[in-house]
Amino acid sequence: MTLGNSWSVAVKALKKNKLQTALTMVGMTIGVATVLTMIALGSGAQQAIQDQVRSAGMNIIVVTAGNFAKKPEPKGDGAIEFGAAYHPDGPNRAHLLRVFHPEDDPMAIHDHPVSKQRLGDSEAGLGSAATLTIDDANVIRKMKGVQYVSEGLHENAHIAYNGKRWFTRMHGDDVSQPLIRRSWSFTHGGYFTARQEKNAENVLVLGSIVAENLFGKSNPVGQTVTVWNQPFKVVGVLTSGSWMLTPAAGDDQFDAMYMPVTTVQKLLNLSKLNDITITTESTGDVSRVSKQVTILLRQRHKIPDTAPDDFQVNSEASKALTSGGMRPDVSAAVTANVSTLEKVTLSQLGKTLDQASATMTALLTSIAAVSLLVGGIGIMNIMLLSVSQRTREIGIRRALGARASDVLTQFLLEASTLSIVGGLLGIALGVATSISISRTVQWSTKISLPAVLISFGISAAVGIFFGYYPARQASNVLPIQSLKHE
């Protein structure tokens, strides 16, 4: 008998006892649905923990143009560094206002800072060197362990709308910035697109502080604002989506505006960058990636072994130290040991997360084992009952020429059909339950394709495993005994 014929006979046999078949499949459905739902909840919880860690900047590396460890003595009204260490309320603000007029036309060179003033002059010393490029960022994107990369150009500018003006921080960034800043959420609209960045369009995203000061409580998406006497279309408003960050005036994230880095380069006639922001796939990769980025950029910038870097590679912790008000020599001493401290801290954090993940996995495995064991025992029970009820049928089939292997195949197919159909229904129920929990209770859930495939594979395996013994019993029944069975 062919496999197709055996399966047809198996399906007909299952249809004869519809209630019995349905109850057996319900047990399997509930078991698989429970497994999938618990995996989704567990994976969602782990993902939420990792997102909180990443939103705190634990996996962020910032490559800044220049190396202030070798900063020379200032020369009057020399070059201005608008890097990550600059803040509009810092000690250099008065100096900025003497040479930078954000309200002027950016194309009027006499009223607008030239490229040396915006990014620094490499001849003035490493502290003001500007050698980072978009090509550097593209090469870093290909490195192992790197998750996202965003090129950065930063200045301070006035933004105007309907007679109102606000002086704030301007960030020219890559489209991946919201993926880097996981703590962001959008109250209106969204971020600019890859197409808008490629075409250097005049679009921008407002931080919630800027939006509130210019538009109040109304939705500014679609409105046109003015920056450097150039019209910009507002495409979104961002705010904090984490309890760890609260928007405040001058906070450099929400009291800020964001536009494509290509737009800033076009309007300000720049080819270099202030910084490159990198996130690693794992918090434990920060130290390794930082070292590899340093080696890579030294090679690309053709820096001799005896010469210092013309850039700085810092984690968020190092960046916070260097952007503070401490003396340069003290900052250098502290940051020299940050990498070691960071390595220990991230290593400990990684071990903690691994232990939590192992515990969660063990819990889910136990629940899955119990649920599927109950479903499998149900299948075995029903199949043994079926063999007992159909002993005479088996004898007639054997007397008409059916082999023991044919009987074995038929009963195995019946058990497999019960488990597979029940598993598919369980997957559908599990997905629906996970989505419902996420929407109603606001718990994090994560349904992955591997989890679905594993659930389906396990359901099929359970049917074969628990169905084999009853099928073997049926195939061993002698025809003469079967025909005598009442």
Look at residue 46 in the predicted model and tell me its pLDDT: 66
In a domain, 310, yes or no: no
- DSSP β-bridge partners for residue 168: 157
In a domain, 77, yes or no: yes
Question: Looking at the structure, do residues 107 and 146 belong to the same domain, yes or no?
Answer: yes
What confidence category does residue 149 fall into, taking pLDDT thresholds of 50, 70 and 90? Answer: very high
The answer to whether the beta carbons of residues 43 and 363 sit under 8 Å apart is: no
Question: Looking at the structure, do residues 432 and 396 belong to the same domain, yes or no?
Answer: yes
In a domain, 292, yes or no: no
Asked if pLDDT for residue 256 goes beyond 50, the answer is yes
Asked if pLDDT for residue 85 goes beyond 50, the answer is no
The CA-atom distances, in angstroms, between 239 and each of 182, 245, 421 are: 11, 9, 46
Q: Of 257, 281, 305, at which residue does a domain stop? A: 281
Structure tokens at 32: 């698989």
Question: Looking at the structure, do residues 148 and 211 belong to the same domain, yes or no?
Answer: yes
Question: Looking at the structure, do residues 120 and 166 belong to the same domain, yes or no?
Answer: yes
In a domain, 433, yes or no: yes
**pTM to 2 decimals?**
0.54
Look at residue 241 in the predicted model and tell me its pLDDT: 77
Per-residue pLDDT averaged across 388-413, rounded? Answer: 74
Cα–chain center distance at 111: 43
Tell me the pLDDT tens digit for each residue of 101-138.
Answer: 343 344 433 334 444 444 544 433 444 457 899 999 99
Instruction: Out of 14-28, 156-170, 235-249, 342-356, pick the least confident.
Output: 342-356
The CA-atom distances, in angstroms, between 232 and each of 46, 111, 201, 229, 260 are: 40, 21, 8, 9, 11
Look at residue 328 in the predicted model and tell me its pLDDT: 52
Domain containing 445: what range? 3-54+350-484
Helix-, strand-, coil-residue percentages of the chain, each rounded to 5: 55, 15, 30
In a domain, 299, yes or no: no
Per-residue pLDDT averaged across 74-80, rounded? Answer: 36
Question: Looking at the structure, do residues 113 and 72 belong to the same domain, yes or no?
Answer: yes
Tell me the pLDDT tens digit for each residue of 357-383.
Answer: 667 666 766 766 676 677 677 777 777
Sequence-separated (6 or more) residues with CB below 8 Å from residue 127: 66, 67, 68, 70, 71, 72, 81, 120
Question: Looking at the structure, do residues 366 and 462 belong to the same domain, yes or no?
Answer: yes
Q: Of 260, 281, 302, at which residue does a domain stop? A: 281
What confidence category does residue 202 fall into, taking pLDDT thresholds of 50, 70 and 90? Answer: very high
- The total of structural domains in the chain comes to 2
Asked if pLDDT for residue 341 goes beyond 70, the answer is no
Question: Looking at the structure, do residues 393 and 420 belong to the same domain, yes or no?
Answer: yes
Structure tokens at 122: 């490499």
In a domain, 471, yes or no: yes
Asked if pLDDT for residue 350 goes beyond 80, the answer is no
The CA-atom distances, in angstroms, between 241 and each of 23, 98, 190 are: 46, 37, 14
Exposed e or buried b per residue across 444-462, where buried means at least 16 C-beta atoms within 10 angstroms of its C-beta = bbbbeeebbeebbebbeeb
Question: Looking at the structure, do residues 169 and 194 belong to the same domain, yes or no?
Answer: yes
Look at residue 440 in the predicted model and tell me its pLDDT: 79
Question: Looking at the structure, do residues 413 and 472 belong to the same domain, yes or no?
Answer: yes
CA gap 175, 261 in Å, rounded = 9
Tell me the pLDDT tens digit for each residue of 47-72.
Answer: 666 655 555 556 889 998 887 554 44
What confidence category does residue 9 fall into, taking pLDDT thresholds of 50, 70 and 90? Answer: low
Go through the chain and tell me how many residues it has.
486
In a domain, 342, yes or no: no
CA gap 108, 92 in Å, rounded = 23
In a domain, 301, yes or no: no
Average model confidence (pLDDT) for the chain?
74
Question: Looking at the structure, do residues 44 and 78 belong to the same domain, yes or no?
Answer: no
Helix axes 404-440, 449-475, angle to 10 degrees: 150
Asked if pLDDT for residue 426 goes beyond 70, the answer is yes
Look at residue 51 in the predicted model and tell me its pLDDT: 59
Question: Looking at the structure, do residues 376 and 455 belong to the same domain, yes or no?
Answer: yes
Phi (first) and psi of residue 231, to 5 degrees: -75, 135
Higher pLDDT, 113 or 464: 464
Burial class from Cβ neighbours inside 10 Å (0-12, 13-18, 19+) for residue 212 reads: buried
Q: Of 281, 309, 339, at which residue does a domain stop? A: 281
Question: Looking at the structure, do residues 256 and 405 belong to the same domain, yes or no?
Answer: no
